[in-house]
Amino acid sequence: GNSVTQMEGPVTLSEEAFLTINCTYTATGYPSLFWYVQYPGEGLQLLLKATKADDKGSNKGFEATYRKETTSFHLEKGSVQVSDSAVYFCALSSSDSNYQLIWGAGTKLIIKP
Amino acid sequence: ETGVTQSPTHLIKTRGQQVTLRCSSQSGHNTVSWYQQALGQGPQFIFQYYREEENGRGNFPPRFSGLQFPNYSSELNVNALELDDSALYLCASSQDRGRGQPQHFGDGTRLSIL
């Protein structure tokens, strides 16, 4: 079946550091890929998405590129801020799972000033 | 544009009781999905409604049931509550159940079972 694997957290970085959160997936066909962010005490917010191979999603300085050859969708940001501290979830949606979102376990990001 | 709203925000129940959670979808969205998120974990898919019909269900027992109304708002009902039902319940809406459509989430209902 379809699945998403994320790097385990927490990930702790200093402000202005470079961020990478790894995400790989297993899916048949051509899934759409998403990154969601959950700030403490809040619901999930869509951060970015990509719907086909080589697409790059971007938002708020975050980027992720849909790499079909490596089945990956790694999240990157060049310079993180304390306000980026949150839990980040990678997810996929595919026709063979009836377009349900399949989620990774989440990666907690802690940014220290 | 009004986003996804859920009510109530917090709820405390005891074992064996029943609960109804409500969700108003974002304007123009006809698909609603419900998720259960236990503390420190990722969301688990409960079920999805598309144009008032159930359109997929996750690995949850029948005591979890739902409805979608003609205005595309939705309810999640849970009967015979158990301690393990304590979680954040998230509702998400989308424009269509189709591929590539992002789901937009409400802030959730925090359900605590005593």
Q: pLDDT per residue over B52-78, tens digit each?
A: 999 889 999 999 999 999 999 999 999
List b or e across B46-81, with b for residues whose CB sees 16 or more CB atoms inside 10 angstroms.
bbbbbeeeebbbbebeeebbbebeeebbbbbebeeb
Please give the average per-residue pLDDT across A43-51, as a whole number. 93
Q: Looking at the complex, does the CB of residue A74 fall below 8 Å from at least one CB of chain B?
A: no
Taking alpha carbons only, the member of A60, A65, A79 closest to residue A19 is A79
Written as one letter, the residue type at A24 is: T
Q: Where do we find the tokens 């123009």?
A: B28
Please give the average per-residue pLDDT across A84-107, as a whole number. 90
- Predicted pLDDT at A40: 86
| For A86, nearest residue in chain B (alpha carbons) | B40
Q: Looking at the complex, does the CB of residue A107 fall below 8 Å from at least one CB of chain B?
A: no
pLDDT band at A90 (very low <50, low <70, confident <90, very high): very high
Q: pLDDT per residue over B88-114, tens digit each?
A: 999 999 987 756 778 899 999 999 999
**Nearest CB partner across the interface for B56, out of A98, A104, A105:** A98
Q: pLDDT per residue over A14-27, tens digit each?
A: 999 999 999 999 99
Residue B24 is given by DSSP the state E
For residue B40, with 0-12 CB atoms within 10 Å meaning exposed, 13-18 middle and 19 or more buried, which class applies? exposed
pLDDT band at B47 (very low <50, low <70, confident <90, very high): very high
Q: Looking at the complex, does the CB of residue A101 fall below 8 Å from at least one CB of chain B?
A: yes
Written as one letter, the residue type at B53 is: E
Q: Is the pLDDT of residue B1 over 70?
A: no
Q: Which long-range contacts (CB under 8 A, 24 or more apart) does A50-54 make?
A: A51/B99, A51/B100
- Predicted pLDDT at B98: 59
pLDDT band at B31 (very low <50, low <70, confident <90, very high): very high
3-state secondary structure B101-113: CCCEECCCEEEEE
Q: Is the pLDDT of residue A63 over 70?
A: yes
